[in-house]
């Protein structure tokens, strides 16, 4: 009885002095700490203080108005009175995608669809989209062939290819939205980053133009030509022609004679390929003299090394 009365008196004292913010579920006890009691047993002192504050907070929670949500009784908390600092900065607004911008401009509103739909075939609830969705045509074992389609092609492989193309297209669109929101270069189709870098040169631009022109079904046969396109893309996309190993001896002889005449001719003084016979002979003579002098030096060194050593005589043992 004495302990109960003491606990009640402590509860009344704490209730009269303590400050509460029920919106944040916070209890403040501004009373100074009794140093003598704290030094005796710090753990029990802190435990009693926390128990007292929690009990006061719970008592006030039970006095709040309540409501039922999904057969659960919930207390309505008041608006918080204490402003708590944020741990992290306020998140920025998510940038709109290209479709969201268009829908906002045209006033198109998305109609909310239910997450699951009743499937009459399996008699179960299935997702409206995604994995194991209702009316999934990619799982059908029978495919209807249209009149204008070739009946000899593999329609199951075609269906998987079309699905992979749709997935790749969605992924490309997602990357484009990210690039647009982060103010980076939007990835394109046809000219890959390997072809078009940050500082593209003339040859890379030519290659990109050639790839883009040949991306259509006619391989640029029926596409309209740009101005000076033939000059820009000249020589690109053409295979080199090589002569056969068993060619004409007469033509080969003529080519070699023309090359010799070009090198030995003195008419075109500006030609860099002109053969200077005097310069070539002088270089050849200098190289021969250098080789001879190096050979003589080696011989003299060997003779000096050999002359300095005494020959040993080996006689019979007596």
pLDDT, one tens digit per residue, over 91-115 is 888 888 888 888 889 888 888 878 8
Q: What is the pLDDT of residues 263-276, one digit of tens each?
A: 776 665 555 555 67
Tokens of 289: 């003299």
Tell me the average pLDDT of the chain.
Answer: 77
Burial 48-74 (b: 16+ CB within 10 A, else e): ebeebbeebbeeeeeeeeeeeeeeeee
The rounded percent of the chain whose pLDDT value lies above 70 is: 75
Do the beta carbons of residue 45 and residue 38 sit within 8 Å? yes
- What is each CA distance from 160 to 138, 140, 155, 166, 168, in whole angstroms? 8, 12, 9, 10, 12
Q: What is the pLDDT of residues 221-257, one digit of tens each?
A: 777 777 767 666 666 666 677 777 777 788 888 888 8
Least confident interval from 98-107, 155-164, 226-235, 289-298 = 226-235
CB half-sphere exposure, 129, CA atoms < 13 A: 3
User: Which residue has better confidence, 174 or 303?
Assistant: 174
Least confident interval from 35-39, 52-56, 193-197, 292-296 = 193-197
Rg of the chain, C-alpha, whole Å: 47
pTM greater than 0.85 (yes/no): no
d(CA 101, CA 89): 26
pLDDT above 60 for 4: no
Q: Which pLDDT value is given to residue 143?
A: 83
Do the beta carbons of residue 233 and residue 209 sit within 8 Å? yes
Query: Any residues with CB less than 8 A from the CB of 29 and at least 6 apart, and which?
Result: 14, 17, 18, 49, 52, 53
């Amino acid at each position: 009885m004495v302990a109960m009365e003491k606990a009640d008196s402590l509860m009344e004292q704490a209730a009269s002095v303590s400050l509460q913010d029920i919106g944040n579920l916070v209890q403040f006890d501004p009373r100074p700490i009794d140093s003598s009691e704290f030094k005796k047993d710090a753990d029990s002192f802190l435990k009693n203080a926390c128990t007292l504050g929690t009990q006061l907070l719970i008592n006030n929670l039970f006095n709040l108005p309540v409501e039922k949500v999904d057969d659960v009784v919930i207390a309505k908390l008041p608006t918080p009175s204490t402003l708590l600092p944020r741990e992290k900065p306020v998140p920025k607004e998510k940038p709109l995608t290209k479709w969201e911008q268009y829908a906002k401009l045209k006033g198109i509103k998305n109609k909310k669809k239910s997450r699951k739909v009743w499937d009459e075939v399996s008699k179960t609830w299935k997702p409206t989209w995604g994995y194991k969705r209702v009316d999934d045509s990619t799982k059908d074992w029978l495919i209807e062939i249209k009149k204008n389609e070739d009946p000899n092609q593999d329609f199951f492989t075609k269906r998987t290819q079309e699905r992979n193309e749709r997935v790749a297209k969605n992924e490309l669109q997602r990357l484009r939205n990210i690039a647009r929101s982060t103010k980076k270069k939007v990835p394109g189709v046809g000219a890959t980053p390997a072809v078009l870098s940050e500082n593209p040169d003339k040859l890379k631009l030519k290659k990109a133009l050639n790839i883009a022109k040949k991306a259509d079904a006619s391989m640029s046969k029926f596409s309209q030509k740009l101005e000076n396109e033939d000059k820009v893309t000249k020589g690109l996309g053409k295979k080199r022609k090589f002569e056969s190993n068993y060619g004409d001896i007469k033509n080969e002889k003529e080519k070699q004679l023309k090359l010799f005449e070009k090198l030995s001719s003195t008419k075109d003084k500006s030609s860099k390929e002109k053969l200077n016979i005097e310069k070539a002979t002088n270089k050849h003579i200098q190289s021969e003299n250098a080789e001879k002098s190096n050979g003589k030096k080696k011989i003299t060194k060997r003779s000096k090394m050999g002359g300095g050593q005494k020959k040993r005589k080996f006689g019979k043992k007596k």
